[in-house]
Amino acid sequence: MIEIIPAIIPQSPDDLRAHMALIDGFVPTVQIDVMDGVYTPEASWPYAGDDDGLFGRILEEEEGFPFWQEMNIEADLMVSHPEEVFEEWIKAGVARIIFHFESTEKLGEIFDRMDQINPPKDSPLHVGVGLAFKPSTDISLLEDWIPRVDYVQCMGNDNIGFHHVELDEERVIPNIQALRMTFPELPIAVDIGVTTETAPMLVEAGATRLISGSAIFEAEDIEGTIAELSSLDEVE
């Protein structure tokens, strides 16, 4: 079954809690888009909005993420120089962490550090590592890095950091197909432009994880929309 992951661009702890409440009980994992306003045009919590000190309390283990007992958290680090902040998110208890290929020139240093601090893949404490890339990026540049990550995340459009952005079909579909052909067992996620209309073509191309924000949270029937997306069968 295809994994469906709702994506939230939180503006505050209250905004994060409100969105997570809408999907509580429907999915095992939620993605938090972490945007610093440097790598992305706009910033999100905890870099913007009314933080009320939540992230600091999480780091001090005084409090957990909202709904942390019900859902796994994956942090999509859409930030400049993620090498400076990623260990904070691991300390905060995320289950997965995503690095953007175009955001740093220090992927090697990041992955070397992850090798040092991350438990083995068969450990329940292992933090999944994803590598995201824009559709305009030559995927041949990723080939040396893919063996060092657990999955890749194909961004559906170069215009990242916003909801309601359309899927760049002409570039994204061939990228998924090429990755699936070269790496048959690689989990492939798609983020941006994932709707009930585009999801079938993404799955047919080889995607195994569908990340969606507005298509889920703005749906009249959130549970039904998630169920519809989840029902898509992977292409053998």
What whole-number distance in Å separates Cα of residue 103 and Cα of residue 47? Answer: 17
- Nearest-Å Rg of the Cα atoms of the chain is 17
- Let me know if residue 174 belongs to a domain: yes
Which of left, alpha, beta for 53 (phi over 0: left; psi -120 to 50: alpha)? left
- Let me know if residue 88 belongs to a domain: yes
- Let me know if residue 188 belongs to a domain: yes
Q: Can you list the positions of beta strands (E) in 29-175? A: 29-35, 72-78, 96-100, 128-133, 151-155
Instruction: State phi, psi for 161 to the nearest 5 degrees.
Output: 95, 10
24-62 pLDDT per residue, tens? 999 999 999 999 999 999 999 999 866 789 999 999 999
171-192 pLDDT per residue, tens? 999 999 999 999 999 999 999 9
What stretch of H or E contains 14?
helix 13-23
Q: How many domains does the chain have?
A: 1
Amino acid at 234: E
Containing structural domain, residue 90: 3-230
Mean pLDDT over all residues of the chain?
Answer: 95
CATH number for 220: 3.20.20.70
Instruction: State phi, psi for 227 to the nearest 5 degrees.
Output: -65, -40
85-134 pLDDT per residue, tens? 999 999 999 999 999 999 999 999 999 999 999 999 999 999 999 999 99
- Let me know if residue 236 belongs to a domain: no
- Let me know if residue 235 belongs to a domain: no
